[in-house]
Every structure is written in structure tokens, then in C-alpha cells.
Amino acid sequence: MGRLVGKHALITGGTSGIGLETARQFLAEGATVAITGRSSEGLDSAKRDLGGDVLAIRSEAGDLAGQRELATLLRENWPKVDVLYANAGDVTHRPLRDWDEAAFDTLMATNLKGPFFLIQVLLPLFANPASIILCGSVAAHIGLPQSSAYAASKAGLLSLSRTLSGELKDRGIRVNGLSPGPTETPALGKLGLEDEAEEALRREIRSLVPIGRMGTPLEVAKAAVFLASDESGFVVGTELLVDGGVGNL
């Protein structure tokens, strides 16, 4: 289809779930793609899955020195960055009484501080026009128990889609939020639950969604393609909810 032909797109957290599927869709649309991940094994697996000439970079989203190294590596390999999809995230949910400062700081570094400074170090590389997509969450709009720190980090990230759009618009850089609702990803399988408990959790999550099911990574990835493409050239400083109606119904 070629909606992203000629564009260089960086996807953080691109080794599984929504990030991996977005990389697949970006490639199908003609983009040159780089993905980041925390583990070499995950990056190798994603590269095999995606095929083609994907630049796979080991990078920790909350490590500011790592963001500078990432920018340097891209500068050495690419002439520009047309699209940044800040997708990497810490999804920790726990009761307020169980949080400590270290865990809170780690989550905020990954979900808010890291993307902020990644955008800063990529500024010289961004093309004109360029699109920045910040992965929010419908959790920023609802009062889901145990999501306090996570939802706050995503609310901050969504605020950046407006404030940075105002600041960077004269550079031709659009910033928008993309907020998934409950989505079928491998993350649920990493909670260490027994099969019965995991299925019970899935039923509980599905009950929150007005249309009665969880979303798929493909549905979110297709929305990311739109925001990355020139088709969304008049979409600036806003949020696209892909959440089955959770945030509005």
C-alpha cells in the first residue's frame, strides 16, 4: 500500500505485543524501521519474526544515557527520523500501600521521563514534517483500582502531546497520543498466574469493555499507521482512543 514509503520510523518497545505488530505494519507500508527492547533475546526473536532490514537496538526506555546512545546510533545509520512511536512502557499495577519510591521512580522513568528526553535528543534528527506518537492509555481517563502510578504516568505523557505540539509545530513536528484500551498481548501471560486465574482476569477485563471484548495489537497498530502517515497531517496535539469505548461509554 505504501503509506509510509520513504519514512524512517523508530518504535520503542518493539519486541512484542503492540510494538511488534506496529513494526510489522510499518514495514508493510514501506517504512524503514528501527525497534528497541531491553533483552537481546527479545530483539533477536523480533528481528527473525519481522525479517527484512530492521534495525534492532538494545535500549532501556528509562535510562537517559541510553537515550543519548540511541540517538547517536540512529544518526550514524539514518539521514533523518520521520516517525517516533514511544511505545515502551512499565505496566505495573499494585495497591497504593504496596508502592515504594524505587518502584515508582522506575515506572515514571520508563513511561514519562524517558520519552521526554528521547524526544529532546532526537530533535536534530527529526524531519520536517515528522510525527511523534506517544503511547497513552485509557487508564488515564478512568478510576481503575491499582492503576494509580501507571495512569498518572500516562496522563503526563498525554499532556506532552499537547504541550510539545505547541512548542514544536513550527518545526513541522506533530505530537499525538495513541491510547489503547484492554488489549490481547503477551503481558497477561507474564503475570505468573495459574491458567484458571489468568482466564478469570481476562473475563474481568473484558467486562470493562462496552463492546464486550479486548482489542488486538493489529487494531492499535493500524491506528499508529494512520498517525504516522501524511493522512493525519491535520491531526495535531490530540489523543486517539482505541479502547472499545472504555473511556467514553
- The single residue of 29, 132, 150, 228 carrying the catalytic annotation is 150
Strand partners, 60: none
Active site residue 150: yes
Residues 6+ apart with CB under 8 A from 155: 136, 140
What torsion do the CA atoms of 89, 92, 98, 103 make, to the nearest 10 degrees?
-30
Half-sphere exposure at residue 194, Cβ-oriented, CA atoms within 13 angstroms: 2
Residues 6+ apart with CB under 8 A from 48: none
Q: What phi and psi, each to the nearest 5 degrees, are found at residue 99?
A: -80, 145
- 3-class SS shares of the chain: helix, strand, coil, % to 5: 50, 20, 30
Burial call 149-162: b when 16+ CB within 10 Å, e when fewer = bbbbbbebbbebbb
* Measured distance CA(10)–CA(30) in Å, rounded: 14
Annotated catalytic sites, by residue?
Answer: 150
